[in-house]
Amino acid sequence: MSDVPGPLLHLAVAGEWERARARGSYQRSTIDTSLEEEGFIHCSFPEQVQATADRYYRGRDDIVLLRIDPDRLDVDVVVEEARSGERFPHVYGPIPVDAVTSAEPVPMGPDGRLDLGRNR
């Protein structure tokens, strides 16, 4: 059980999420890095996720927003400072699919920006 307030949010490629559902756990750190390579899974708090989407996921029409209940995780969740100075939650291990309370497709606007307005 985590003492980090939830929910935690993670932007995932739809195909990776489907593979995770079949496997029973999600193991991608970022869009192009595995948990094994990074050591943790990057997440955001609700107020941070749009900026994350704008920075790394613009132009992608295959993204789902995972909403994660930190109390359902059996691995450490640590809020750590990024290079920008902002603090983000990092999950130090696989995320069991039953810790994901929703997985919503994220629509892409005409400018390529992901529209997370209704999903947060």
In a domain, 44, yes or no: yes
Distance CA(8)–CA(34), nearest Å, equals 18
Domain count, the chain: 1
- CATH classification at residue 78: 3.20.170.20
* pTM, entire model: 0.91
In a domain, 115, yes or no: no
C-beta separation of 49 from 6 below 8 A: no
User: Of all residues in the chain, what percent carry a pLDDT higher than 90?
Assistant: 79
C-beta separation of 115 from 107 below 8 A: yes
**Is a pLDDT exceeding 60 seen at residue 25?**
yes
CA torsion through residues 93, 115, 101, 22, sign? negative
| Interval 76-98: pLDDT, tens | 999 998 888 889 999 999 999 99
